[in-house]
Every structure is written in C-alpha cells, then in structure tokens.
Amino acid sequence: MKTTDIHHTRSKETGILALSPSFTLMGINRHACRLLGIASTPGAACPLEKIVAPASLEAVHNFFADVIEKQVRIKDAGICLINAAGRPFHCNLSALPLTSGQQSAIGVILHFNPLEDKKSVSTTPSSLTYLPRLGYHGVVDSLPEGVFSIDREWRINTFNKTAEMITGYARPDIIGKYCWQVFQSGNCQHHCPLADIFQNGRSCENQEMTIQTHTGSFQKIRINAGPLTSADGSIVGAVESFCLLPAKKIQRGPCLGQYTFQGMISKNMVMKSLFAMIRDVAASQADVLITGESGTGKELVARAIHTLSHPDTAPFVAVNCSALPENLLESELFGHEKGAFTGADQMKHGRFELAEHGTLFLDEIGELKPALQVKLLRVLEQKDFERVGGSSPIKLTARIIAATNQNLDKAMARGDFREDLYYRLKTIPLRIPPLRERIEDIPLLVDHFIETFNHKYDKAVRLVDPKVLDFFKKHHWPGNIRELERCMEHAFVFVRGPIIFPRYLPKMNDFTIFESTNAGKKNRPKPDNLLWALEKADGKRAEAAKLLTISRTSLWRRMKGAGLL
C-alpha cells in the first residue's frame, strides 16, 4: 500500500490525517477536516506550519523526524494545533509510521484528540515506544471497526483483526481472494459501494447491507468506503470499514416457535411422533437408520439426535457415501497407515477415528459397495476397526447414524445390499415423511423461509399471495423441503414489494396446472382487490392506489389492516 485515503476512518472525537515525508496530504478523516478547517484533497501541500501552533512546531518536527527515520511510535504528546483561521486548540497527539513493506516509512499517520481543559496539556509525550515497522496493520488492528482494502483487481490485500472477528475468516485465508467471495452480500452484484468508487470516484457513507459469515450465519453491517489514491491522484484501490448493526428482534409467530424442534418445523402428527422418538433415541447409544426421500431433512434428524445426546464438544462427522470414489472410501472411513498404498505419504485418521465419542453420520448408505458393506458390518459387530495397511485395532466409540433415500428392501432383493447389515443398522428405524404427506406444514415453512431470506437479501417481504400458497399445497414436491426452499429463494431474488406473487416463482413441472387453475374469469381477482392492485403495480403503492381509485393514505390503511406493513 503506497498511500491511503482514510476519509472514513473515524472515531467519536479523533482527528486522523496522513502526511508524506514531503508534507503532502495522503489522507484525512472528516473530524480532522472540521477541526483544522482544511479540505480532503490528496496530494495537496500540508506543511506542519499550516496546522501546528508555533509553540509546538519544533516538538512536532522532531516527532515527525523520529517516526520517519527511526519508525518510533509517539503516544499522547500534548501539543497545540491551529485551524485555517489561525485559532489555536490544545490536543493530545499520537504519531505512527505508515509503511508499505519496505524498510523505510512512506508517511506518518497523526491522531489527535482536542482537550477541553488547557491545563491538562503537557509539553512532552507521555511515552515513546520503538515499534519497528508498525505500519498500516499496526494502526488498523487497533480500530474497533472492521477494515479491509482491495486493489484494482478486487483482491483483498489487508484485513484487520476486527474484520476477522465479525466475518469469522482468518486473515491468512482470505488475503488475495476476491472481496465478494468473502462477504457474499446481495449488494455485491448490485449497488456495490466499491464498484462506485472505481467507476465514479465516489466515497460511500453509512450504507447498510447483509453479509454471510464463515459459519454461514447472516449479519447486518453498516459500511463506509473510500478510494486509495497514488501520489498523482489516480485510484489504485479502495478501503472499507464496517461495523455490526444491533440485531433486530425477530418477530416469530407463536405457531412457528411452538412447532419448532431442533431446527425442524412441523405440526404434522407423524413428525410430532418423530420428534418424541428423537428424544428417546438420544438417551441411548443405539445405532439409527433414517429413511426418507431426498430433501426431507435426514441430516437435520441426525444432528438433532447428536445435539441431544452429546456435549457441545463432541464431534459430528458426516460422510456422503455416494460422493467419494470407491478406491478412496475405505481410506476415508478407516484411515490409513503411511505407505499403505501409492500416495500414502503419511498416516491419516479416518472418519471413524475423527468421530471419537461423537457421532458418525453415513449418508446415502445404500450406495456403499458390497466389499465395504462387509467391513462396516464387522466394525458394527466387533466395535473396533483397523486403518488401511495397519494391524492394531482401534476401539469404536462413535454412535453410527446411517441414512438413505433408497428402498433398501428392494436393494436387498436385487442383491445390492446385505441383509445382515440392513438389520444391524436398523436397530432404531426412523422414517421422515415427504412434504406432500405433511401439507399442513407448508404455511409454517413458508413463514420460516420468508424470515430467513429477508435477512439474507435485506428485504421486507411479509407474505405470499394466497394463489401461491394454494399452488404450494397442490404441488407434488419431488424435492421436498429442499425444493420449497430453493423455490422461495428464487422468488426472493426477483420480488420487489412485500408480497410474493406467482410470476416470481420458478417454472416447475406442474406449473401449468397452477396457471390454468387461475386462467378462468371466475378465478380472476376483482379490481378492488388489494393484492390484485399491488401485483399489477409491482408493489408500487402510488400506482396501486390509482388502480383502486383511492388515496395513498387509504391504501396505507388497508395494507396495515391486512398485515402488509
């Protein structure tokens, strides 16, 4: 980093500016502009005589020389500054070197806090600390806001400690990555403040957005961003600071909370029985076989059993038996010793070993090849296993939970699945019903996804059109809850107002049934229908009011009465 525009690096009372060794302005924040009465013009001359009172000029010149030549950090020196009108004010000043990876400093960053009581001013710095090459990272790591910068290629080149805490990403893991790979915000594709900097040179203040953290959770942040400029004033990158916004209390309907169990939502009687069984199963160490169609939530059930039966520190290790090549699956499950086969350069722990005293979740168990079925049966029977190429038995301490979307009875009849393994896994069988068998859960799930995607896409959707809900209840849902989730997310990408209308849904196999159902005149909404008007106006209130021949105030009252505000 050669120079920095710190226009948006600010605290409540601190003025910050950066000066080059030749006393040209490299960057300045708003507080410093206001206190000193100077403009934020990168490259403008800013000699110390312009901002420092004569009584403090010699001391500040000495501080400046020490910071540049010896890379000394000056902390809380009592000095007197002057503004553009020549009016003096007393403050505490700190100075830090600004480096770019070279041995010498390329500038000095000055922090100053005005003092109300002139008597508290000292003529000497309270501390001189020699911190070689503290530089940019030393400055921004101490800030309470997250700070990162990118180059013209959109690659992250700095990332401070607060940014690590907010996002969950470690600095070494994301340096060099594109910024959108880290923050995954809906603003990355549209209304990106950094894009506006590169295209128009405009800084951004107090913009709110939602990002996705390393753990997959969503956080609302407020950002400030500005350009990084070279000595000739050209933009060479951008810097952004951000902080968390206070979390809004989620207005969860009473029914949603009442029917939520370990991340699963249902008021279906079969699912309620399943929830009760999960509590009982969690109290034991018996192996479990979970069956259900794709997208019904088999891993959620497995995680619920694990959560209720193990402490927080116990591992949950998931293996998709259909996703790993056959020649690697045995090594992945049992591990291998060094030299066990070509390419085995070192010993490796398998998933059985990694799940020690926790849970091993074997998803798509029906895809397991016959040879491995034999070995898995032996492990379940003997409660120990050996690494590939090893001879020392390792005790099995993990609970085994298997899952499949196949009909294992038919697989056994075809000879694709061992009968003895099936009955060994089936100690506790749990079946998850498909979504078409629990239609009463669809409104609950829709409300849940509205809440989830409002946070993800920073929108304010309140409900789906009744016609959409009717279609959801008639649709076959071959992909079950996963398909419903993707359908809702598709709608959220395109919805503009508070209501999801039919046109925002993706095309599905039986979508024509939905369209034809609503094609006849008898099913068309009346012109005075509130939802009809909002749909026609694409959520724009002024146009909807015109269609209904009412005032915008009357429309607002109707929307509020209908729960749309």
- Alpha-helical regions (H) of 76-208: 135-140, 161-167, 171-174, 179-183, 193-200
Q: What is the Cα–Cα distance from 322 to 368, expressed in whole angstroms?
A: 7
What's the full length of the chain, in residues? 565
pLDDT at 560: 67
| Cα–Cα distance for residue pair 149/241, rounded to 1 Å | 9
Distance CA 24, CA 333 (A): 63
In this prediction, residue 290 carries a pLDDT of: 96
Q: CA-based angle 352:356:358, to the nearest 5?
A: 105
How would CATH label the architecture of 15-136?
2-Layer Sandwich (3.30)
450 three-state secondary structure: helix
Which one is the CATH code of 269-432: 3.30.450.20, 2.60.120.10, 1.10.287.3510, 3.40.50.300?
A: 3.40.50.300
User: Cα(18)–Cα(6) distance, rounded to whole angstroms?
Assistant: 8
Low-confidence ranges of the chain (pLDDT < 70): 1-13, 99-104, 116-142, 186-191, 231, 246-255, 311, 509-529, 538, 560-565
CATH assignment, 436-561: 1.10.8.60
Q: What is the pLDDT of residues 110-124, one digit of tens each?
A: 888 887 644 444 444
Name the superfamily (CATH) of residues 146-244: PAS domain (3.30.450.20)
Query: Which residues belong to CATH 3.30.450.20 in the chain?
Result: 15-136, 146-244
pLDDT at 121: 41
pLDDT of res. 510: 44
Contact criterion met (CB below 8 Å) for 481 and 441: no
**8-state DSSP, 410:** H
Q: What is residue 306's predicted lDDT score, i.e. its pLDDT?
A: 93
How is 302-335 classified by DSSP, letter by letter? HHHHHHHHS-TTS-EEEEETTTS-HHHHHHHHHE
**What pLDDT is recorded for position 536?**
72
Query: Taking the CA atoms of the chain, what radius of gyration do you get in angstroms?
Result: 32
Portions of the chain given CATH number 1.10.8.60? 436-561
Closest Cα to residue 321, out of 296, 346, 298? Answer: 298
Distance CA 184, CA 210 (A): 9
The pLDDT of residue 124? 42
Alpha helices by DSSP H, listed for 220-369, are 254-258, 269-282, 298-309, 326-334, 351-354
Q: Where in the chain is the domain with CATH 3.40.50.300?
A: 269-432
Q: Give the residue among 40, 38, 47, 54 at the shortest CA–CA distance from 19.
A: 47
Please tell me whether the overall predicted TM-score, pTM, comes out greater than 0.85 for this model: no
